[in-house]
Amino acid sequence: MRFVSSSRSRPGWHPWIHWSALGFIGLTALFIPSLRMTERISAGKYPAYRDYQATTSVLLPLPPRGG
């Protein structure tokens, strides 16, 4: 039994998004608000954290920004 069918098995049917992407979208929808809330709590608890936020990327390891 096949759970995922290819587009070749159903002519004319081309899904715009794969079903497994729904999990990624759902987890991202949960993670981003949680990240923002955590950043806000940390900035309120530690005053120097605002300076750190001004020079550091939130998710991607990018070079430091000028702040």
Residue 64 has pLDDT above 50, yes or no: yes
Residues with Cβ < 8 Å from 7, sequence gap 6 or more? 13, 14, 15
Q: CA-CA distances (angstroms) from residue 28 to 18, 34, 48, 49, 60?
A: 16, 10, 28, 24, 15
pLDDT digits (tens, 9 = 90+) for 1-50: 444 555 555 666 667 777 788 888 999 999 999 999 999 999 999 999 99
**What are 41's two structure tokens?**
């709590």
**What are 40's two structure tokens?**
């806000």
pLDDT digits (tens, 9 = 90+) for 42-63: 999 999 999 999 999 988 888 8
Give the integer Cα–Cα distance in Å for 63 and 17: 33
